Amino acid sequence: MTESTRAELLAEPGEGGRERLAAFFAARGEPAYRARQVEEWVWERGARSFDEMTNLPAGLREALEAVFSLTPIEPDYTARSRDGTVKHLWRLDDGERVESVLIPTRDRLTLCLSSQAGCALACRFCATGDFGFRRQLRAAEIVAQYRDSLRVAREEMGRPASSPISNVVYMGMGEPLANLDGVIGSLASLHGGFGLGARRITVSTVGLIPGILELARRPEPFELAVSLHAPSHELRLRLMPIEKRYPLPELFDALRTYQSYKNRRISFEYTLIRGVNDDPALAEPLAKLARGLICFVNLIPFNPIPSRPEWGPSSTEGIARFSEALAARGVGNAVRRPRGRDIDAACGQLRLARES
Ligand code: SAH
């Protein structure tokens, strides 16, 4: 049976899922606690198959299997960096492949997950953009990356069993706010199903205004990150075609609206490409844009990609100069160390490397 005809339990946290399971068991004359048992397997133990649910009779497990799906995804390839970063390339039911990355720091373990197979936005510095768009991920496929990473975090990375993954960022392949159904559904599962705190989940976007406003209206305090990369229309247009559709002034109006709803700090991502967008003089227009917003800028050295051989990361001194120029204008910022360089951990790079 195909996924489209079975209900994916990973996409149904809370009441909806419970009611559907309750109806399933009631129709078979089973006691009500069976639904609770299944839920425990899904959300607390991260079961990948109904066979694992050993406190349910085998016949019931088969019956569940016919009606429901646990959205199995298969690790096609796993790469482990010397710095502890672990990257997975997952194969989905139709053969599409997406990446997720586990990034350990001293007191955190962050999972970076994918929201689409490929991406339509064609940012010039991004390896995923080179694939073009393949398809949306269903909510359950986004959540399955988390479920299967939990196991790796617990069993291979020695993380506490109670909360192996401390943070989730939607910074893998794809543009989350171009897949609102899938992403909103997955947020509901991570938060309401697996119990991950909304403040520990960051949605990163190129700046799709309708999606930003949709997030603003949600009650949960999910974090928002915006890929900025340039403070002027001309320069941003060179790097990110989306600037044509949602230019900076409109984007920042939307961010002000977002902040009037949420009153939460917004992060900006700024990838520093040598000689392209790292002139410290750009700190001035950037500070002007940010005026009136509570925000923070993450500076990321550009990770070279094969399709842009002419571009390289800014030098250490160049990055420091840019960072200081921002700080001098009152813009809080930090330089993010690249992680997992030896395993092609940057967005889209592993799939690219495995296909070329
Ligand atoms: N589409 C979303 C999330 C995916 S990319 C977004 O654009 O925000 C996550 C971050 O990695 C983005 O800020 C993106 O601009 C950045 N990025 C992509 N390719 C990169 C590269 N080669 N080097 C450094 N950062 C890159």
Kindly give the distance from the C-alpha atom of residue 245 to the centroid of ligand 1, in angstroms, as a whole number.
19
Torsion of CA 115, 119, 124, 128, to 10 degrees: 70
Instruction: Specify whether 300 is located in the same domain as 222.
Output: yes
pTM value is: 0.95
CA 17 – CA 28 distance, rounded (Å): 17
* Position 1 in a domain: no
* Position 2 in a domain: no
Mean pLDDT along residues 63-70: 97
How many independent structural domains does the chain possess?
Answer: 2
Is 126 a pocket residue for ligand 1 (Cβ < 6 Å)?
yes
Kindly give the distance from the C-alpha atom of residue 229 to the centroid of ligand 1, in angstroms, as a whole number.
9
Is 270 a pocket residue for ligand 1 (Cβ < 6 Å)?
no
Asked if residue 116 has pLDDT above 60, the reply is yes
* Position 146 in a domain: yes
CB-based contacts of 309, cutoff 8 Å, min separation 6: none
pLDDT at 356: 41
Instruction: Specify whether 104 is located in the same domain as 203.
Output: yes
Predicted confidence (pLDDT) per residue in 245-289, tens digit? 999 999 999 999 999 999 899 999 999 999 999 999 999 999 999
**CATH number reported for the structural domain that contains residue 259 in this entry:** 3.20.20.70
Is 167 a pocket residue for ligand 1 (Cβ < 6 Å)?
no
Instruction: Specify whether 119 is located in the same domain as 55.
Output: no
Kindly give the distance from the C-alpha atom of residue 129 to the centroid of ligand 1, in angstroms, as a whole number.
10
Look at the block and give the residue holding tokens 């040598």.
274
Asked if residue 133 has pLDDT above 60, the reply is yes
* Mean pLDDT, the chain, whole residue set: 93
Residue 16: pLDDT band with limits 50, 70, 90: confident
Nearest-atom index, ligand 1, CA of 338: 24
Instruction: Specify whether 174 is located in the same domain as 313.
Output: yes
pLDDT at 341: 77
Instruction: Specify whether 247 is located in the same domain as 295.
Output: yes
Predicted confidence (pLDDT) per residue in 81-91, tens digit? 998 999 999 99
- Residue 99 catalytic? yes
Instruction: Specify whether 130 is located in the same domain as 253.
Output: yes
Mean pLDDT along residues 117-127: 95
Instruction: Specify whether 129 is located in the same domain as 265.
Output: yes
CA distances from 322 to 98, 288, 298 (A): 33, 15, 12
Helix (H) or strand (E) holding 22: helix 14-27
3-state DSSP assignment of residue 100? strand
* Position 239 in a domain: yes
Mean pLDDT along residues 321-332: 98
* Position 52 in a domain: yes
Phi-psi region of 306 (alpha: psi -120 to 50; beta: other; left: phi over 0): alpha
Instruction: Specify whether 42 is located in the same domain as 79.
Output: no
Residue 160: pLDDT band with limits 50, 70, 90: confident
**CATH number reported for the structural domain that contains residue 15 in this entry:** 1.10.150.530
Instruction: Specify whether 303 is located in the same domain as 180.
Output: yes
The residue range of the domain holding 24 is: 7-69
